[in-house]
Amino acid sequence: MESDKQTPIRIALLGCGVVGGAVATLLTANAADLAARVGRPLQLVGIGVRRLDRDRGLDLDPALFTLDSEELVTRADIVVEVIGGIEPARSLILRAFEHGASVVTANKALLAEDGPTLYAAADAAGVDLYYEAAVAGAIPLLRPLRESLAGDDVTKVLGIVNGTTNYVLDKMDSTGAGFTEAVEAAQALGYAEADPTADVEGFDAAAKAAILASLAFHTRVSAQQVYREGITEVSAADVQAAKDMGCVVKLLAICERSEDGGVGVRVHPAMIPRTHPLAGVREAFNAVFVEADAAGELMFYGRGAGGNPTASAVLGDLVAVARHRVGGGRGPGESAYADLPVLDMGDSRTRYFVSLDVADEPGVLAAVATVFADNAVSIETVRQQQVRASGDDSYDDGQRAELVIVTHAAPDSALASTVETLLELPQVHEVSSVMRVEGD
């Protein structure tokens, strides 16, 4: 692998959007430092794009741009893929491996859908596959999981890994705004796409959860195996109910080992206490808690998206892969030896917050408590308060009360069927808010 110190390492960049533009700019601006750190210069040999006539506002040689990415990857030592999505990214990455190039990618969707195929191709070619930027942007998180904690046993990963939804929920929490209004605010600031589906429905976070679970537990988890619930159903009333409980609503990615040796991987909104460190993660920031047997509790915090933060992670990988080109060796490959079953969501143990609008009459609490007991769900706290009758009351004329219940941990299926049965009770007018509770 040793070769002349002046021979550049050839870098092909696929995609030149916000992240690609930042990567290209930093590669050029920091060329001297990068060369000193790698031991050889890094030379950007081409940028694969879909359109040549677009003004990207970048100070780059126009001759670098090409429409022929298939050709470009054959003349690179390292291919940086920041196109995103499944195709053509996958085909181009596999083609890069076939031609002996290592790959640095930020493509969470592809890794979560088809990571093992990529790993196998990298292995077959004896080259590197790095993807720190795929999860939590600038935050060094995957390298710590893949390497720093490789001698420990990770038991849980709990994090805010989608900046868009964190911005939306933070806005709802701080201003009392409804979901739609908060999404519009996020769009106005560029934190949310015109079509925010991938973020607000939790697809983005689910892909990241799959990657985190795979690395943390040395097993294979695909995005399809992740239980996913977005934030579109989170109402201003839910956020207010959380506030009344001393909690805040966050979209969490949760990966955990179960006692029987399986792994639970889920993405859903949850209430967490305001005293929990994740509660203080504001705006579009990301933060991830990791619990390991020997290390105990660790937290990583930083910017989860944006051109420069994501480019920082890409360039860190690029330096690592380039050092291997200079000095030999390869980074860690897939580690999936543990081969653990992924739990059904119904078997995941969670806690529920349930707020019920009930008739204010004797025996209601007993009836409600019986439903919980019948489903073997233990109640942690219950608060009952009279509701003043309002003019637009659409229910009967009787007095009403609100029952606010927080359960102990129980299988999610038991909690779901509890809520279902509660709805059938004649004394229950409405289940006004149901949300999982995390972070104790």
- Residues labelled as active-site residues: 208
Residue type, 311: A
Collect all residues with Cβ–Cβ distance below 8 Å to 182 and sequence separation of at least 6. 167, 168, 169, 171, 172, 175
* Residue 296 binds a copy of itself, judged by CB under 8 A: yes
- 120 binding a copy of itself? (CB under 8 A): no
If one asks whether residue 123 binds a copy of itself (CB under 8 A), the answer comes out as no
List 3, 7, 17, 36, residue binding a copy of itself (CB under 8 A): 36
Q: Quote the CA–CA distance of 112 and 267 in Å, as a whole number.
A: 14
Cβ neighbours of residue 370 under 8 Å, at least 6 residues apart? none
Output the DSSP codes for 348-389.
Answer: SEEEEEEEEEEE-STTHHHHHHHHHHHTT--EEEEEEEEE--
Phi-psi region of 137 (alpha: psi -120 to 50; beta: other; left: phi over 0): left
Query: What is the size of the binding site for a copy of itself (CB under 8 A)?
Result: 57
Residue type, 310: T
Of residues 53, 87, 337, 424, which one binds a copy of itself by CB under 8 A? 337
Structural tokens at position 350: 């969670």
b or e along 263-274 (b: 16 or more beta carbons within 10 Å of the residue's beta carbon)? bbbbbbbbbbbe
Choose which of 31, 295, 365, 431 interacts with a copy of itself (CB under 8 A).
295
* Region near a copy of itself per CB under 8 A, out of 13-21, 92-100, 295-303, 420-428: 295-303
> What span, in angstroms and rounded, lies between the C-alpha atoms of 248 and 425?
29
Q: Tell whether residue 423 is a contact of a copy of itself (CB under 8 A).
A: no
248 lies in the binding site for a copy of itself (CB under 8 A)? no
185 vs 267: CA distance, rounded Å: 23
Which residues on neighbouring strands pair with residue 287, listed in sequence order?
160, 301
By CB under 8 A, is residue 311 in contact with a copy of itself?
yes
Verify binding: residue 351, a copy of itself, rule CB under 8 A. no
Q: Does 280 bind a copy of itself (CB under 8 A)?
A: yes
CA distance 237 to 227: 24
| Span 9-28, contacts to a copy of itself by CB under 8 A | 22, 26
CB atoms within 10 A of CB 12: 27
Closest C-alpha among 252, 29, 95, 48 to residue 162: 252
Q: Is 335 in the site for a copy of itself (CB under 8 A)?
A: yes
**Position among 329, 341, 363, 398 found at the interface with a copy of itself (CB under 8 A):** 329
Query: For a copy of itself, which residue of 125, 239, 279, 292 counts as binding (CB under 8 A)?
Result: 292
Q: Which of 90, 95, 143, 250 binds a copy of itself (CB under 8 A)?
A: 143
Binding segment for a copy of itself (CB under 8 A), chosen from 33-41, 94-102, 233-241, 250-258, is 33-41
Does 58 bind a copy of itself (CB under 8 A)? Our answer is no
**Residue 148 binds a copy of itself (CB under 8 A):** yes
Q: Is-contact 226 206, C-beta < 8 A?
A: yes
12, 64, 92, 139: which one contacts a copy of itself (CB under 8 A)?
Answer: 139
* 114 contributes a contact to a copy of itself by CB under 8 A: no
Measured from the CB of residue 10, what is the shortest distance to a copy of itself in angstroms?
17
**What DSSP element (H or E) covers 227?**
strand 227-228
Segment interacting with a copy of itself (CB under 8 A) among 49-57, 191-199, 204-212, 327-335: 327-335
Secondary structure string (H, E, C) spanning 55-121: CCCCCCCHHHEECCHHHHHHHCCEEEECCCCCCCHHHHHHHHHHCCCEEEECCHHHHHHHHHHHHHH
Single residue of 147, 244, 393, 420 touching a copy of itself by CB under 8 A: 147
Subset of residues 188 to 227 that bind a copy of itself, contact rule: CB under 8 A:
218
Q: Is 299 in the site for a copy of itself (CB under 8 A)?
A: yes
Residues forming the site for a copy of itself (CB under 8 A) = 22, 26, 30, 33-34, 36-37, 132, 138-140, 143-144, 147-153, 218, 277, 280, 292-303, 308-309, 311-320, 323-324, 327-330, 332, 335, 337-338
